[in-house]
Amino acid sequence: MAMIDDARIDEIVARVLERLGAGATPAPARPASGGDGGRRASNIPRGTLGVYADADEAARAARRGFEANERTPVATRIRMVENMRRAVLANNEALSRFAVEETGLGRYEDKLAKNRLVAEKTPGPEILRPVAYTGDDGLMLTERAPYGVLLAVTPTTNPTETILCNAIGMVAGGNAVVFNVHPSAAQVCNWCVHLLNEAILAAGGPRDCVVSVERPTIDSANLLMKHPLVRIVVVTGGPAVVKAAMASGKKTIGAGPGNPPAVVDETADLAKAAEAIVRGASLDNNIVCIAEKEILAVDSIASELVRQLQRNKALLLDARQTKELEKVVLEGDHVAKDWVGKDAGLIAAQIGLTGHGHDLRILLCEVDEQHPFVQHELLMPVIPLVRCKSATDAIAMAVRVEHGFHHTATMHSTNIDHMAAMARVCNCSIFVKNDASHAGLGLGGEGYTSFTIASPTGEGLTTAVHFTRERRCTLKEAFRFV
């Protein structure tokens, strides 16, 4: 009797799941090895579908996945993407819990919101619209075509969110993707890749449109960046990894760091501004790149703004406490990684401010422009406030402290001239007026979402459009019916 290989078994299981109906995948009982040298966070399932031990093997599998996806009917791709959305929504609680458990970063309830946002508002195949021109000289048709195999390097801050966001856009465009994720989030990301493969197979799609390296490293990332089967490198991370990607010789889409300022002028509704700033700056304990990192307030309203911030679960530190906090969250000229993404109450306890639980959202301190809390992207719920003489001074300071990343900025004002001036001079991929920064991601604001915001290379909020190439077909003197 012929033996059935693992691939066929996986396919049969997927078909059975399809007949039974979509639902949460039960967590396997067997232990898994993550990207942490053999240790694994408890209870995180092991991803197997689409997960490869070797980077070259992953790239070759993705090439097979691309060749199959390129031939897949658009109607099937639409079903694939819808199943991918449903798979994450069905497993959102587990994915969010495991992400916090493995990485030690952020807030479970905020990861729930972020995963839901990506599942519901990431554009799929519908954004790839053909364009046609007709005239005396015939017909011209432009459509979006796949590149092939894409490499996606993803961060520990938004692990499953970036996996789903990139996977939807890349698969919708007919591509395949190899994920080299942050090692600190490898287990949950590999399980997410597994879930997406189940979803794609259940929709009648091909295997290995979405694959990952089981134990990702810098070496595996470098190998994939230069791999002959990889056409585009898509990086979501810090300046070092973006620089490495841009040196790969491949087309690169780089989503780099930010240091988003929040300017509050003398015309702002201070109660609304304070509530929005705390909501934005504390999202997932400030590890999201678009989150407010410093407040630049016009001096005439700064004291009242501070009072309003305190009414919204912000704890104001005095000068001595701020000095003590510096010793905890800074290591020389660098941010202490041990406190990135940790709860504000836990950080406060390190300087003797105990009794503050999970409900405390941010730690607030008044400093000057040159303070490290202003100059560095802390990625933790610590937000400095700087007093400025005027709105003009605040906008100029915002440009300086954003460091030319052109990532995200926010402003609270009812002065149209002030808002227009700041939008123009900050020149950011995202500019939000009179709301929390995450409104610019579509979380509480209009528009689609993306967790790969490519400011260094200029694409902004990336979608399937950016993961496809334009192809034109021209037909002379035919098919015109007017």
Residue 294: which of 232, 229, 365 has the closest Cα?
365
Predicted pLDDT of residue 479: 73
| 199/289 same-domain check | no
- Virtual CA dihedral for 331, 337, 341, 347, nearest 10 degrees? -40
Predicted pLDDT of residue 344: 97
| 238/381 same-domain check | no
Query: Given CA atoms 80, 81, 83, 88 in this order, what sign does their dihedral have?
Result: positive
Residue 402 lies in a domain: yes
CATH number, domain containing residue 342: 3.40.309.10
| 183/289 same-domain check | no
Residue 247 lies in a domain: yes
Residue 480 lies in a domain: no
Q: What is the mean pLDDT of each run of 10 residues along the chain (482 residues)?
A: 42 39 38 40 89 98 98 97 98 98 97 98 97 91 97 97 98 98 97 98 98 97 97 92 91 94 98 98 97 98 98 98 98 94 97 91 98 97 98 98 97 98 97 98 98 95 98 86 75
Q: Residue 399 burial by CB count (10 A; 0-12/13-18/19+): exposed, middle or buried?
A: middle
- Virtual CA dihedral for 410, 341, 193, 18, nearest 10 degrees? -80
Domain housing 106: 43-256+462-469
Residue 78: which of 116, 127, 22 has the closest Cα?
127
Q: Residue 416 burial by CB count (10 A; 0-12/13-18/19+): exposed, middle or buried?
A: exposed
Residue 170 and residue 384: Cα distance in Å, rounded? 38
The pTM is what? 0.89
| 290/250 same-domain check | no
Query: Which structure tokens are listed for 226?
Result: 């230069």
| 237/372 same-domain check | no
Contact between residue 399 and residue 411 where contact means Cβ atoms under 8 Å apart: no
When divided into structural domains, the chain yields a total of 2
Residue 342's CB is within 10 A of a number of other CB atoms, namely 21
Residue 419 lies in a domain: yes
Residue 126: which of 449, 419, 464, 393 has the closest Cα?
464
Radius of gyration of the chain (CA): 24
Query: For the chain, how many residues are written?
Result: 482
Q: What is the DSSP letter of 118?
A: H
CA distances from 64 to 175, 208, 274, 476 (A): 11, 7, 51, 36
CATH number, domain containing residue 224: 3.40.605.10
Residue 46 and residue 70: Cα distance in Å, rounded? 29
Predicted pLDDT of residue 482: 75
| 234/370 same-domain check | no
| 267/252 same-domain check | no
Backbone angles phi, psi at 296, to 5 degrees: -115, 105
Query: Which structure tokens are listed for 189?
Result: 């990301």
Residue 161: which of 149, 169, 150, 173 has the closest Cα?
169
| 270/163 same-domain check | no
- Beta-carbon contacts of 296 under 8 Å, excluding residues fewer than 6 positions away, are 261, 262, 263, 264, 385, 386, 388, 394, 397, 398, 401
Q: What is the DSSP letter of 15?
A: H
Residue 153 lies in a domain: yes
| 232/131 same-domain check | yes
Residue 349 lies in a domain: yes
Residue 439 and residue 77: Cα distance in Å, rounded? 29
CA distances from 378 to 9, 105, 245, 316, 336 (A): 47, 13, 24, 17, 9
Q: What is the DSSP letter of 445?
A: S
Residue 187: which of 85, 107, 98 has the closest Cα?
98
Residue holding tokens 């979501």? 236
Residue 246 lies in a domain: yes
Residue 333 lies in a domain: yes
Predicted pLDDT of residue 31: 29
- Beta-carbon contacts of 404 under 8 Å, excluding residues fewer than 6 positions away, are none
Contact between residue 257 and residue 405 where contact means Cβ atoms under 8 Å apart: yes
| 300/212 same-domain check | no
| 411/287 same-domain check | yes
Residue 164 and residue 466: Cα distance in Å, rounded? 16
Contact between residue 287 and residue 339 where contact means Cβ atoms under 8 Å apart: no
| 87/176 same-domain check | yes
